[in-house]
């Protein structure tokens, strides 16, 4: 883990401390040791990942919009008297590198319209799809692209569609 | 009736429910739940009665007692669960032996 | 009531509708997987709208940040728990409902 | 405004009550657990509303603790308490009745 | 006026919901269902504390009720079921309630008499009593903190808290003396998503615990709440199969466990010698001394609760392997 990513993680934790305490300057007597301890534990627990921070600025609005649509979509189906759902299981071959990118993808997918990740095994994400008639595959591919950019990796080309 | 009285009555209800279940049920896990419900009822009674200060802040002394009470209750529950598991591992049954039948 | 207040009211009501829809889905949907869809997504959006509604009323930036942090944590926990429950259900051979 | 916040909190409490039906009904252990999850999220929303209604910022901390620990019970369930391949076969019957 | 009415509706629904959940939890046939209902009951209790203007209590209930209680009960039930399936169905015959019908009715009558009596006493209580709140308010200045609940816990009635810490320790000793040795772990690896969740949450839980410790001096929070949040971090780590090594379990854990009570006792002795009274702090140093006490108490409470969770698991793990 390099110095820069430790520093940025430390800043993030310090920012959270600031949020929690409402910016009280006197709180840093406890805040500094607490942030340091949390940082040490977090380094021990969580391996470094090359997150591209500025990509978040693009990812967040995309994610918020899609998850809002996800909520609208499922709410509509739940309230509609006919309950238009046609669920199916779908095995999506992941092209992201193993580790945090895949986990991030699995968690993101669960909040997007009509998809719920149900199993994450090596390079394969089993997705429960609420309505198999929709274009969920294009959605999954789009998310994968964006997650790849977020983690500064390229998708493996073994599937031939890159 | 004020809100304090209302919650205090709910507390009494919980105590009675818990006590009844504690006596009636044979299964030990259920007895442990029942004791916890009773405890919650007593805590509710204490905190509700502490609110009768009018407009001022509620009486902090019962609050402090209840906070420690909650933590002590959970550790007592852990001990009781261990005892239950120990008993059922030895007798194959998570119930107390019935005196009348034996 | 100022314009901000109206906005808060609208967003809060919208949030409440999503919570309602989530519960309807929990009650109506046919199997555990579809219910997970309803609960995770609808409640997440419902809470999100409420957080935004309350954030524009908040007294300081730190309070706004704390509200957003709460939402983020619920989102993380919700998505993870949904995955874990769906995974467990698959592994235990609970078959997804098909029409 | 205060009345409105409280009324919304009341409404959320009512949806919680409706969600209890799923806990009682099941049919699988996972369904019951889901309702507990619903309780967690909704309680966070209720706490935030109460915090706004009473002007007591400390209630946000309660909501924060709820949000942080919402997953612990579910994790305990998934990792430890979920019976492995026990007859959770009531599923098809229940679904047939629930459709249409 | 409307606000009061809506508040009353909220409170009635909450109160009745609490009673209903407790009743269902204690009466339903399925034990797992009973536990889920009990967890829901705990979550609603936290809302009741909020309505009763007891946010300190709500924090403690949220930390314990949402995290520890549920995990403890679920794990215990799973172990119980594995014992029962291993040890044949000889149990199934004695499942019925062991109380004879007429006695049950007698009990019901006695309990309703008790409840009516208690209810009558409560109704006849005066609506406004200052209690000890004025006494606390007048001495709050000298306590070293501005949150009255923390002042009561750590200063005015510090001896209570001291004994409470000892009780926690005794409970753990009880569990340990029943539990046997630390087992060899043979758990399957945790799902990746769960690993990631835990790794993200644990630093957050540590920060939050520290925050609750700090904020307890002037707003709701304090050592008990912070300790419970810390314990939740420990429980999460234990649930994904991250066990402390046996070497680490022995001495350092024991030191942390006694750190809180030991500091308290030391402080009690010192104040007795200097100030002439048990846990009577000089006002000018009270704030710092309370912070010291709270920090050690938090660590001990967190470690004790997490160890209680681990301790409950030991003996079945041993049986499994």
Q: Are residues E298 and E190 in the same domain?
A: yes
In degrees, to the nearest 5, what angle opens at C-alpha A128 toward C-alphas C27 and C90?
85
Is residue E120 domain-shared with residue E152, that is, in the same domain? no
Same domain, residue pair E109 and E65: no
pLDDT at E94: 43
Whole-number average pLDDT of chain E: 83
Residue B33 sits in which domain range?
3-91
Q: For residue range E171-184, what is the model confidence (pLDDT) as tens digits?
A: 999 988 886 544 44
Cβ <8 Å between D61 and E39:
no
Which pLDDT does position E131 carry in this prediction? 77
Chain A environment of E204 (Cβ under 8 Å): 16, 38
Question: Hey, of A116, A117, A120, which one would you mutate to test binding to chain C, going by the most C CBs within 10 A of its CB?
Answer: A116
> Is E191 close to C87, i.e. CB distance below 8 A?
yes
pLDDT band at A45 (very low <50, low <70, confident <90, very high): confident
What number is the average pLDDT over the span C86-97? 85
Q: Quote the domain boundaries for residue E300.
A: 147-321
Q: pLDDT tens for residues E14-28?
A: 999 999 999 999 988
Contacts of A83 in chain D (CB under 8 A): 99
Q: What is the pTM of this model?
A: 0.91
The answer on E181 and E110 residing in a single domain is: no
**What's the confidence (pLDDT) of residue B100?**
53
Buried b (16+ CB within 10 A) or exposed e, A104-143: bbbbbbbbbbbbbbbbbeeeebbbbbbbeeeebeebbbeb
Whether residue D33 lies within 8 A of chain C, CB to CB, comes out as: yes
Q: What percent of chain C has pLDDT above 70?
A: 100
Considering only residues A72 and C97, tell me which one the structure prediction assigns the higher pLDDT.
Answer: A72
Q: E194 and E293: one domain?
A: yes
Decide if pLDDT at A9 tops 90: no
Checking if the pLDDT of E37 tops 50, the result is yes
**Low-confidence winner among C78-87, D52-61, E69-78, E273-282 (lowest mean pLDDT):** E273-282
Whether residue E139 lies inside any domain: the answer is no
- Range ranked top by mean pLDDT from A19-33, A124-138, B29-43, E168-182: B29-43
Sign of CA dihedral D71, D77, D80, D86: negative
Q: Across the interface, do D35 and E40 touch by the CB < 8 Å criterion?
A: yes
Name the residue among C70, A77, C89, A126 with its Cα closest to residue D32: C89
Check whether residue E6 and residue E112 sit in a common domain: no
Q: Which chains pack against B, by 3+ Cβ pairs within 8 A?
A: E
| Contact in structure between B52 and E131 (CB atoms under 8 Å) | yes
Q: Total domain count for chain A?
A: 2
User: A66-80, C50-64, E56-70, E124-138: lowest mean pLDDT where?
Assistant: E124-138
Token readout for E128 is 């406004």
Residue A148's H or E segment, with its range, is: helix A136-150
The answer to which of C26-35, C42-51, C68-77, E178-187 has the lowest mean pLDDT is E178-187
pLDDT category at E247 given cuts 50, 70, 90 is low
Distance CA D10, CA E13 (A): 8
> Which pLDDT value is given to residue D95?
38
Residue A108 forms part of a structural domain? yes
CATH number at residue B13: 1.10.287.3510
Reduce the DSSP state of residue A52 to 3 states and report it.
coil
In this prediction the ipTM stands at: 0.91
Domain count, chain B: 1
CA distance B102 to chain E (A): 13
Judge if E89 and E52 occupy the same domain: yes
Tell if the CB–CB gap between A41 and E203 is shorter than 8 Å.
yes
Residue A133 shares a structural domain with residue A98: yes
With CB atoms and an 8 Å threshold, state whether C57 touches D63. Answer: no
User: How far apart are alpha carbons E298 and E226 in whole angstroms?
Assistant: 6
Work out the minimum CA distance from D66 to partner chain C, whole angstroms.
Answer: 9
What pLDDT shows up at residue A160? Answer: 45
The arithmetic mean of pLDDT across residues B59-63, rounded, is 88
Q: How far is CA C98 from the centre of its chain?
A: 25
Q: What is the DSSP string of E37-97?
A: HHHHHHHHHHHHHHHTT-HHHHHHHHHIIIIIIHHHHHHHHHHHHHHHHHTTTGGGGG-S-
Give me the helix-helix angle, E192-215 and D58-76, nearest 10°. 150
Give A89's Cβ-side CA count (13 Å radius): 15
Domain assignment of residue B97, yes or no: no
Under the phi-then-psi rule, with left for phi > 0, alpha for psi from -120 to 50, and beta for the rest, what region is E289? alpha
pLDDT band at residue B4, thresholds of 50, 70 and 90?
confident
Cβ E67–D81 below 8 Å, yes or no? Answer: no
Instruction: Kindly report the nearest CA distance between residue A4 and chain E, in angstroms.
Output: 19
Of A23 and E119, the structure prediction assigns the larger pLDDT to E119
Q: Are both A38 and A58 inside the same structural domain?
A: no
Q: Do chains D and B touch (3 or more CB pairs under 8 A)?
A: no
Using an 8 Å CB-CB cutoff, list chain A residues near D99: 83
Q: Per the structure, how many domains does chain E have?
A: 3
At D89 the pLDDT is 42
Q: Do C76 and E193 touch (CB under 8 A)?
A: no
Q: How far is C33 from chain E (nearest CA, A)?
A: 17
Are E23 and E165 found together in one domain?
no
In this structure, of C31-45, E92-106, E128-142, the range with the lowest mean pLDDT score is: E92-106
């Amino acid at each position: 883990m390099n110095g820069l990513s430790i520093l940025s993680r430390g800043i993030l934790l310090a920012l959270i401390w600031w949020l929690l305490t409402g910016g009280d300057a006197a709180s840093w007597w406890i805040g500094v040791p607490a942030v340091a301890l949390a940082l040490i534990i977090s380094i021990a627990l969580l391996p470094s990942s090359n997150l591209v921070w500025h990509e978040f600025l693009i990812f967040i609005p995309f994610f918020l919009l899609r998850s809002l649509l996800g909520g609208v979509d499922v709410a509509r189906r739940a309230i509609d008297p006919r309950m238009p759902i046609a669920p199916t299981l779908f095995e999506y071959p992941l092209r992201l590198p193993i580790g945090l990118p895949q986990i991030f993808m699995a968690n993101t997918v669960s909040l997007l319209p009509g998809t719920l990740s149900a199993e994450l095994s090596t390079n394969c994400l089993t997705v429960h799809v609420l309505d198999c008639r929709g274009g969920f595959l294009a959605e999954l591919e789009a998310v994968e692209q964006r997650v790849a950019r977020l983690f500064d990796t390229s998708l493996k080309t073994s599937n031939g569609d890159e | 009736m004020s809100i304090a009285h209302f919650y205090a009555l709910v507390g009494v209800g919980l105590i009675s429910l818990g006590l009844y279940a504690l006596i009636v049920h044979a299964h030990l896990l259920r007895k442990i739940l029942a004791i916890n419900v009773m405890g919650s009822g007593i805590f509710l009674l204490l905190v509700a009665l502490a609110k009768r200060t009018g407009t001022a802040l509620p009486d902090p002394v019962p609050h402090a007692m209840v906070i420690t009470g909650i933590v002590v209750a959970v550790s007592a529950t852990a001990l009781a669960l261990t005892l239950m598991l120990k008993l059922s591992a030895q007798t194959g049954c998570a119930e107390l032996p019935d005196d009348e039948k034996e | 009531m100022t314009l901000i207040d109206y906005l808060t009211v609208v967003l809060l009501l919208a949030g409440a509708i999503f919570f309602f829809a989530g519960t309807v889905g929990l009650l109506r949907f046919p199997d555990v997987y579809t219910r997970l869809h309803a609960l995770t997504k609808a409640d997440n959006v419902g809470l999100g709208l409420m957080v935004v509604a309350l954030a524009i009323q908040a007294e300081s930036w730190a309070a706004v940040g704390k509200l957003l942090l709460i939402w983020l944590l619920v989102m993380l926990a919700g998505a993870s728990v949904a995955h874990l429950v769906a995974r467990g259900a698959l592994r235990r051979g609970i078959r997804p409902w098909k029409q | 405004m205060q009345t409105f916040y409280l009324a919304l909190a009341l409404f959320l409490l009512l949806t919680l009550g409706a969600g209890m039906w799923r806990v009682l009904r099941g049919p699988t252990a996972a369904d019951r657990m889901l309702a507990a999850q619903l309780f967690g999220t909704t309680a966070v929303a209720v706490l935030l509303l109460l915090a706004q209604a009473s002007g007591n910022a400390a209630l946000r901390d309660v909501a924060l603790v709820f949000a942080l620990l919402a997953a612990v019970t579910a994790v305990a369930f998934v990792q430890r308490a979920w019976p492995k391949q026990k007859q959770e076969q009531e599923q098809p019957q229940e679904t047939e009745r629930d459709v249409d | 006026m409307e606000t009061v009415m809506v508040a009353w509706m909220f409170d009635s629904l909450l109160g009745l919901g609490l009673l209903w959940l407790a009743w269902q939890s204690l009466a339903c046939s399925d034990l797992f269902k009973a536990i889920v209902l009990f967890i829901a009951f705990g979550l609603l209790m936290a809302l009741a504390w909020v309505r009763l203007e007891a946010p300190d209590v709500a924090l403690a209930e949220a930390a314990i009720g949402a995290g520890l209680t549920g995990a403890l009960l679920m794990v215990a039930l799973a172990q119980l079921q594995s014992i029962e399936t291993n040890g044949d169905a000889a149990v199934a015959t004695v499942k019925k309630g062991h109380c004879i019908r007429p006695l049950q009715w007698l009990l019901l009558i006695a309990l309703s008499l008790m409840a009516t009596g208690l209810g009558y006493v409560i109704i006849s209580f005066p609506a406004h009593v200052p209690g000890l709140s004025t006494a606390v308010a007048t001495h709050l200045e000298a306590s070293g903190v501005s949150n009255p609940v923390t002042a009561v816990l750590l200063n005015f009635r510090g001896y209570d808290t001291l004994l409470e810490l000892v009780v926690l320790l005794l409970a753990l000793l009880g569990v340990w003396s029943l539990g046997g040795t630390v087992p060899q772990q043979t758990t399957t690896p945790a799902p990746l998503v769960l690993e990631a969740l835990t790794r993200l949450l644990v630093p957050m839980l540590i920060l939050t615990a520290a925050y609750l410790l700090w904020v307890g001096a002037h707003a709701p929070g304090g050592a008990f709440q912070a300790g419970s949040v810390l314990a939740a971090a420990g429980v999460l780590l234990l649930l994904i199969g991250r066990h402390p090594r046996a070497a680490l379990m022995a001495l350092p854990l024991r030191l942390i466990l006694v750190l809180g009570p030991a500091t308290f006792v030391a402080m009690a002795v010192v104040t007795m010698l200097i100030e002439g009274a048990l846990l009577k702090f000089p006002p000018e140093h009270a704030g710092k001394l309370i912070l010291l006490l709270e920090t050690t108490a938090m660590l001990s409470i967190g470690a004790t609760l997490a160890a209680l969770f681990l301790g409950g698991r030991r003996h079945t793990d041993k049986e499994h392997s």
